[in-house]
């Protein structure tokens, strides 16, 4: 007797795996986007400034040194008085959280007289220098020229000093003579003052000078600023991108997955259907 095999529904193993639907994206609310834009905008400029500052410090540390010193630009200073003096240099605050030898290293002051007079340059404790120059006509050079040329208020009235500067015994470092004069000094905690005069203590001092320091920690400070600036800038850019991104369209996100995943007959059923009758 001949029988015709009946069709059979595919086995469970013949069905392909169901498609994986994408997870719904987190939709940023309008308030969240505005907040991201505001915070990102506030962080971007400081991050870029710190980044640029770190790059400048690294440039100065590795490429812009003179005999191992980071130096200021050469500037001209003059006074109709008897001395050019710096502001009080307070290193107590620096030594309180970082050794001065690490923060500053060796300092150097270079001056060159622009007149025929021999010049004197010295470094002294601020109290001793003020006592020597008390009542002497002089000019205070704020920041050693870093904050602009001396103004009228920097001219202090008075008379002449009691004697030539080289005769005083309180100088930590000093140099005098014609042409370029240079003093180097290893700073320590305390209050200090730079003094530039004519070697004979006469009136009208005119020099060109610059100051420098080794600043051993400059490289570490530069790398730290570079890392912090990069991190802040990265966060700011991410926030700005998130705030500017338009919310996703659900009709695009949830299309039916492509591919042939319809059910198919199993090979065992197909084989049975094509087997010769009676077998």
Two tokens at 61? 């540390």
pLDDT at 45: 93
Q: Using DSSP, state whether 66 is helix, strand or coil.
A: strand
Buried b (16+ CB within 10 A) or exposed e, 130-144: eebbeebbbbbbeeb
pLDDT tens-digit profile, the chain (279 residues): 555 555 566 666 666 666 666 665 565 677 888 888 899 889 999 999 999 999 988 888 888 777 778 887 888 888 899 999 987 776 665 555 556 666 677 888 889 988 888 999 999 998 999 999 999 999 888 655 445 555 545 778 889 998 999 999 999 999 999 888 999 888 777 788 899 999 999 999 999 888 888 888 788 888 999 999 999 999 999 998 888 877 655 555 555 555 555 555 555 545 554 555 554
CA-nearest of 190, 187, 207, 205 to 133 is 205
pTM of the model: 0.62
Strands 205-213 and 173-177: unpaired
pLDDT at 231: 93
Q: Give strand pairing partners of 122.
A: 174, 195
Cα–Cα distance between 98 and 51 in angstroms, integer? 23
Helix residue ranges, H only, 75-217:
92-97, 100-103, 126-133
Cα–Cα distance between 188 and 210 in angstroms, integer? 20
pLDDT at 146: 46
pLDDT at 224: 92
Contacts of 209 (CB under 8 A, 6+ apart): 74, 75, 77, 109, 110, 111, 112, 121, 144, 145, 196
pLDDT at 216: 81
Q: Determine how many CB atoms are found less than 10 A away from the CB of residue 213.
A: 20
């Amino acid at each position: 007797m001949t029988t015709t095999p009946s069709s059979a529904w595919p086995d469970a193993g013949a069905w392909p795996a169901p498609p994986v639907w994408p997870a719904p994206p987190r939709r940023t609310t309008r308030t969240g986007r505005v907040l991201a834009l505001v915070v990102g905008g506030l962080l971007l400029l400081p991050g870029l400034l710190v980044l640029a500052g770190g790059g400048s410090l690294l440039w100065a540390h590795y490429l812009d040194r003179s005999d191992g010193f980071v130096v200021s630009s050469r500037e001209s200073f003059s006074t109709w008085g008897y001395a050019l003096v710096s502001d009080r240099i307070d290193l107590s605050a620096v030594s309180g959280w970082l050794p001065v030898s690490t923060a500053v290293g060796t300092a150097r002051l270079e001056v060159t007289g622009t007149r025929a007079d021999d010049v004197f340059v010295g470094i002294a404790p601020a109290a001793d220098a003020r006592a020597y120059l008390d009542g002497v006509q002089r000019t205070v050079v704020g920041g050693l020229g870093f904050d602009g040329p001396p103004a009228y208020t920097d001219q202090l009235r008075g008379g002449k000093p009691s004697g030539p500067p080289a005769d005083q015994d309180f100088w930590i470092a000093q140099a005098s003579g014609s042409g370029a004069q240079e003093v180097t000094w290893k700073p320590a905690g305390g209050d200090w003052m730079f003094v530039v005069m004519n070697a004979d203590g006469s009136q009208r001092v005119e020099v060109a000078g610059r100051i420098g320091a080794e600043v051993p920690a400059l490289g570490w400070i530069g790398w730290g600023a570079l890392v912090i600036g990069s991190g802040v800038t990265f966060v700011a850019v991410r926030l700005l991108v998130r705030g500017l991104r338009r919310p996703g369209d659900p009709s695009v996100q949830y299309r039916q997955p492509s591919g042939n995943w319809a059910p198919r007959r199993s090979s065992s059923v197909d084989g049975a259907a094509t087997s010769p009758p009676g077998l």
